[in-house]
Amino acid sequence: MHKPLLFLLGLALAGNATAGCGEGNGTCYYYKKGELKGQDKCAVTTCAATDQYFFSTWAWGNGNEVAITLSEDKQGTLVNGKPGYMLQLPFKDERMLCYAVEAGDELLCNDSGVY
């Protein structure tokens, strides 16, 4: 269902930019103040075109969703609309990717390998 839409989006943004999307499944984790508060299976979709756009959505099996985007002014990463940043944790799992919310002491991770 989403693949034709992503293909059309890719055609619309074609040009000199390198663009693409990836989809995968894994486990998502939610940490608050360093403590694991939730984990569930999730589907991850990530799309990017060099420095033009980036977004990733994580659809948790329990109905929760996470949205990671570049801010409109390209000054940083937004995690569910809040300023944040990316962390790769290769010491835990080569496929593990985490995003932290700057002011919230929250960490959201997935091991889908879709960056």
For 42, the domain range is: 25-110
Confidence of residue 91 (pLDDT cuts 50, 70, 90): low
Query: pLDDT tens digits for 16-59?
Result: 556 788 999 999 999 999 999 999 999 999 998 876 778 999 99
Whether 2 is in a domain gets the answer no
Owner of token pair 């290769």: 90
Contacts of 103 (CB under 8 A, 6+ apart): 82, 83
pTM assigned to the model: 0.74
Is pLDDT at 12 greater than 50 in this prediction? no
Whether 8 is in a domain gets the answer no
How many structural domains is the chain composed of?
A: 1
Whether 17 is in a domain gets the answer no
Element (H, E) at 36: strand 35-49
Is pLDDT at 77 greater than 60 in this prediction? yes
90: helix, strand or coil: coil
Whether 13 is in a domain gets the answer no
